[in-house]
Structure formats: structure tokens, C-alpha cells
Structure 1
Amino acid sequence: MYIESKLKEVDKALFEMDFSGLDRKSILSKEVSNYSDSGLKAAGKIQFTNGLLIIDTEFNNKKSLTNILEIKGEYIQVSYLKKRGADLILSGVKQAVGLGRIQCCYDLDTRSIIKLPANQPIHCQAIYLSKDYYLELLKNEAWIENNTFYKKVLQGDLQSWGACQFPINYNLYHILNEIAQANWDEDFKFFFIELRLKELFLSLHLCQQESLKGFPKDISEENREKIKKAHAYLIEHFKSPPTIKVLARKVLLNELQLKKDFKKMYGKTIRSFVIELRMEKAKSLLGKYTVSEMAGILGYKSIPHFINTFKKCYGYTPKQGLNQ
């Protein structure tokens, strides 16, 4: 598998990787060139081993740019675009890369053109696996025989970009961040990442199973997409969530409809969903920060309010949780 990412207007490669000959049992990493030319700001990190590339990049350009991404060989891609949107031109067809969705594909020898609009910060996380790496990684998982995507890969049935996508949820968001950041001891990083990759593909499988159940039929397709965008936006901004009024404006839906349809689709109010997200994050922070630091990280202005909310959710205070 060979991957090259190049910015056309400045004639600079963000990275260029050939995965042949790399040690399969170690994860290497390097910074993506931190460009700060006039009109361009691009920075990030890549991690890689034989058959695997993990990308975490951010763009903040003052003029429109074109990222040409060339991939040779059979590959599986899992990607998530944070912040604003971008346009992808693949095989001459323009597609919007919308927010709030994880994109998966299985393809061969592609050349993609990604249009990066000016003055719109973009943060992208992407994972590329060779076909051999993907099949070897998941072949012994108990659930894999029922996974449609895995069967397609096994049969060589290509699934182009856009054919397989999932709405982001907190679990997927958290796993992707952990894989992309990989703040782990170097001696164990490879094993940590492989465990998280298995968890990621299992979570995507569960999302696929959940999607088969469908959403309430009395919500129009247009409104369902708007509610999904609201759901994704809250996952990105739960530490400082918008008001219902602001959120309704962002997804172009009136406040009453937003609240009503959100509860129908997800079985909880927007407020309770935000609290749930904050508490899930709070549990992951236990032992790493003081109670007051946790409250600040999660956007609580009142420490007693944070402690009471935590206790109501888990049945014990953050301090008691440290001793369990």
C-alpha cells in the first residue's frame, strides 16, 4: 500500500508513505509538516506500521486549497471530518464531506481531489489499512462472520467512498480520538492501537445492526438528517453546549421540532444527552485530574453542581469513585 497527500497550490507533500518493508510489530510516528506559508496553515501527526496509517491533521487556510490524495493497492479507509465541511471529487464526481458521519470504504488504486475551502478550519482523522492487515486483524473476532462490510472485503467486492457511512456517537468519537492521539507507552503502543482498532470495527458493526431497526417513520428524511447533525454537533461541543435556540439555527429547524424529534429518535432529551456525554467523559478523567479540574474541563462553573450530577448518575461522588 502506497499513500501520498499533496497540496496542489503550494506544490508540497503533507506526507508520502510506502508501507513495504516496515516492521509490523512497532508503530512509528512523525509530525506532518507544519506549514505556515501565506494563506496556508497545516499541521498534524501520522502514525504507521506495515499496512496501517493513522492520520490526524488540521487545516486553517486563508485561501482555497486542493489536497490530492493518491492511494495504490487495496485498502480500507475509516475517516471522520471534524469542524467544517469539505468537498471530495472522486472519479470526476463531486461529493460533500458532511459533518457528523464516519465514512468507511474498501477500494483500490484511487486518486481523490479534496477541496479545502478558505477560512473554514478543518480537522480530519483517518485510518487506512491494507486489505491483508484488515483481514488479519479481525479474522478471529467472534462477531465478524455476521459483518456485511467484512464479507465484502473478503470477497473482493469494492465499496467506494460514500457507500458505507455511520452517524458519529460518543463511543466512536472517543475511540477515534484515542487511536489518533495514541498517548501510550512506546513499548505498548502497537498492542494498544490494535485493541482500539478492533473496538472501533466492533462499534461500527453494532451501529450497522442498530441502523437496521430504523428511526420513527413519522419523522421526515429531511428532519432526520437535521437531527443527526444536531446529535453530532452536541458530541463535538458537549463541554460548552449551545442553547436549544442556537442549535436549532445551526441545523435549520425550529426549536419545538428539534426537541420533539430528537427525543423520538434517541429516546432522551437534548439536556439529558449532554449530561450523559459529560458524565461519560467525567468517568474517564477520574484519577487524572482533581475534582475541580474535572468540573472545569467539562464546562461546569459550579463544582458542587458537577459533584451532585456525577453522584446522581453513578451513585457515588467523583472522590468516592477514586477509592473504588
Structure 2
Amino acid sequence: MYIESKLVEVNETLFSEDLSEEKDQNIIKDEINITAYSWLKAKSKIQFSKGLFIVETFFENDKNLTDIFSIGGEYIQISYLGKGDSQLVSLKERKPIEMGRINCCYNSNTVTTIEMPANKPTHYQAIYLSKKYYLELLKNEAWLADSSFYKNIIQSDFQKWGACKFPIDYSLYHILNEITKSDWNSDFKKYYLDLRLKELFLSLHFCQQELCSGVVQGISEENLEKIRTAHAYLIENFKNPPTIKVLARKVLLNELQLKKDFKKMYGKTIRSFIIELRMKKAKSLLGKHTVSEMAGILGYKSVPHFINTFKKCYGYTPKQGLNQ
């Protein structure tokens, strides 16, 4: 498998790796920064080994930017656009890359043109596995017998980008961040990473089963998609959440309909969901930051308010949690 990202307007290669060659047994890591242009900042963190490529990239561009993304060989792709308004461009159509969706695909030897409009920062995370790596990784997983995506790969039935997509949820968001951001101990990085990848594919399998269960009773199919978009947007922005009014505009629903359908679909109000996300993140920060730092990271302006919310959720304060 070969993978390359080339930025057309500045004639710069962001990354270019041949993943068919033998690599070091541990994951190789690199960070690329493009800062030589007044109108463009590009930062990319890549991790790779034979048959595996993981990337997280940020773009800030004051002019339109085009990325030619080339992949050689058969590959499985898991990608997520957390921020931006990018589009896939072909001779036949322009297809928006939907923010807040995890896209899965199985394809071979592709060259993709991605356009990113000016003044709209972009953040994406993606994982690429060769077919051989994927099959070896999951060969002993019992749930594969029920996975249509796995069956497509076994039968070499290509699933193009956009054919298999899921709204992000907190579990997927957390796993994806663990894979793309964490710096494991070098002696065990590959082992832990493979465990996380298995967890990611299992979670995606559960998502596929849930989507196949049909439309939630009392919510139209059109509104269902909008509520999922709102849910995904909150997961990405829970530290600095939008008002109901702003969120309603983003998903093109009136505020009353958004609040009613969100509660019907997820069993909680939007405000309760934001608090839940913040508290889950708070628990993961225990021992890594001071209480004051935790409050700031999670968007709380008042430390006492953060402490009271934490205690209401877990029955103990953050400080008490450190001693448990």
C-alpha cells in the first residue's frame, strides 16, 4: 500500500509513504508542518508501519486549497471530518464531506481531489489499513460472521467512499482520538494500537446494526439525519457548545423541533447530553491536570460550578476521585 497527500496550490507534498516495505516493529511517528506561506498553515501528525497508516491533519487557509490524495493497492479507510467544509471533486460531481460522520470504505488504487474553501479551518482524522493487515488484525473476532462490511472485503466487493457512513458518537470519538493522538510506551505501542483498532471496528459494527434497525418512531427520516448531525456536532464541540439557536440553524431545524426530537431519539435533553460529555471527559482527566485546569479544559468559567457538577454526577468531588 502506498499513500500520498499533495497540496496543489503550493506544490508541497504533505506526506508520502510506501507501506508495502518492512518497517520497524514499532509504529513510526512523524509530524509535518507547512508554515512558509502567509495564507496557509498545515500541520499533520502521522503514524505508520507496514500496511497501516494513521493521520491527523489541521489546515488553516485564507485561499482555496486543493489536496490530491493518492492511495495505491487495496485498502480499508476509516475517516472523520471534525471541522471544515471540504468537498470531493470528480469529473461527474462535487460531493461534500459531511462533518461529524465517520466514513468507511474498501477500495483500490484511487486518486481523490479534495477541495477546502478559504477561511474555513479543516480538521480530519483517518486510518488506512492494507487488506492483508485488516484480515490479520480481525481473523479471530467472533462478530465478523455478522459483518456485511467484512463480507464485502472477503469477496473483493469494493465499497466506495460514502457508501458506508455513521454519525459519530462519544465512544467512537474517544476511540478515534486514542488512536490518532495517544503516544503509547514505545515497547507496547503496536500491541495497544491493534487492540484499539479492533475496538473501533467492533464499535462501527454495532453502529451499522443500529442504523439498520430503522427510523425512530415519530421522527421523520429527514429530521432523523438532522438530529444525528446535531448530536455529532455537540460531541465535537462540547467544550464550547453552541446555543440551541445556533445549533438549530446549523442543522436547519426550528429550535422546538430540535429539542423535542433530540430528547425522543437520545432520551435526554441537549443540555444534559453536553453535561454528560463534559463529565466523561473530566473523569479521563483525573490525575493528569489540576481541578482548575480541568475546569478550563472543559469550558467551565467557574471552578466551583465544575466541582458541584462533577459531584452531582459521580457522588464525589474531583479531588476525592484522585484518592479513590
TM-score range, shorter chain: over 0.9
Matches within 5 A, 1:17-28: 17-23=17-23, 25-28=25-28
Counterpart in 2 of 1:9?
9
Using the TM superposition, give the Cα deviation of residue 212 of structure 1 relative to its aligned residue in structure 2, in angstroms.
2.3
Taking the aligned partners of 2:227 and 2:170, their CA distance within structure 1 comes to: 15
User: Structure 1 residue 278 and structure 2 residue 288: aligned?
Assistant: no
State the shift of 1:177 in Å.
Answer: 1.2
* TM alignment of 1:176-195, pairs within 5 A: 176-195=176-195
> What is the aligned partner in structure 1 of residue 244 from structure 2?
244
**C-alpha distance in structure 2 between counterparts of 1:30 and 1:185, whole Å:** 16
Hey, what does 1:320 align to over in structure 2? Answer: 320
Residue equivalent to 1:230: 230
Q: What is the SS of the residue equivalent to 2:3?
A: strand
Find out whether 1:43 has 2:57 as its counterpart: no
- Are 1:146 and 2:162 counterparts? no
The residue type paired with residue 124 of structure 2 is C
> 1:105–1:159: 8 Å Cα contact kept in structure 2?
yes
2:167 is aligned to: 167
Give the drift of 1:228: 1.6
Corresponding residue number in structure 2 for 1:115: 115
Structure 2: segments with no counterpart, 5+ residues:
none
Match of 1:31 in 2: 31
% identical equivalent positions:
66
Q: Secondary structure at the match of 1:3?
A: strand
Tell me: CA distance 1:215–1:323, structure 2 relative to 1, closer, same or farther (3 Å).
farther
CA contact (8 A) 1:215 1:265 kept: no
Paired with 1:285 and 1:174, the residues of 2 have a C-alpha distance of 13
Q: Secondary structure at the match of 2:37?
A: coil
Partner residue in 1 for 2:209: 209
Write the distance in 2 (CA, Å) between the matches of 1:246 and 1:211. Answer: 27
TM-score (norm 2): 0.95
Scaled by the length of structure 1, the TM-score of the pair is: 0.95
SS in structure 2 at match of 1:143 = helix
Amino acid at match of 1:169: D
The alpha-carbon deviation at position 289 of structure 1 amounts to 1.4
Q: Is the 8 A contact 1:32 1:57 kept in 2?
A: no
State yes or no: 1:256 paired with 2:262: no
Shift of 1:44: 1.3
For 1:234 and 1:142, the matched residues in 2 are separated by 33
Structure 1 position 127, deviation (Å): 0.6
Aligned residue pairs: how many?
324
Give CA-to-partner distance per residue, 1:268-310, whole Å, 9 cap, x none.
1101100110111011011111222212211222323222222
Answer with 61-70 or 15-24: which moved more.
Answer: 15-24
Give 1:310's aligned residue.
Answer: 310
Give the structure 1 partner of residue 295 of structure 2. 295
Distance 1:24 1:214 in 2: 45
Deviations 1:76-96 (A, max 9, x none): 000001112210125743211
1:64 matched to which residue of 2?
A: 64
Deviations 1:208-254 (A, max 9, x none): 12222233243223222221221111111111212212222222221
Which amino acid in structure 1 is aligned with residue 233 of structure 2?
Answer: Y
Distance 2:109 2:243 in 1: 45
In the alignment, what sits opposite 2:128? 128
The question of whether the paired residues in 2 share the 8 Å contact of 1:23 and 1:49 is answered with yes
User: Quick one: which amino acid aligns to residue 212 of structure 2?
Assistant: L
- Deviating beyond 3 angstroms after TM superposition, the runs of 4 or more aligned structure 1 residues are 90-93
Query: RMSD of aligned C-alpha atoms?
Result: 1.6
Q: Give the SS at the match of 2:20.
A: coil
| 1:163 shift after superposition | 0.5
CA–CA distance in 1 between the matches of 2:111 and 2:97?
16
Q: Which region of structure 1 is more displaced relative to structure 2, 307-316 or 69-78? A: 307-316
Measured after TM superposition, the shift of residue 25 of structure 1 is 2.5
AA aligned to 2:283 is K
SS in 1 for 2:283: helix
Secondary structure, counterpart of 2:61 in structure 1 = coil
**2:55 counterpart residue number:** 55
Contact 2:71 2:111 (C-alpha < 8 Å) held by counterparts: yes
Q: What is the SS of the residue equivalent to 2:202? A: helix
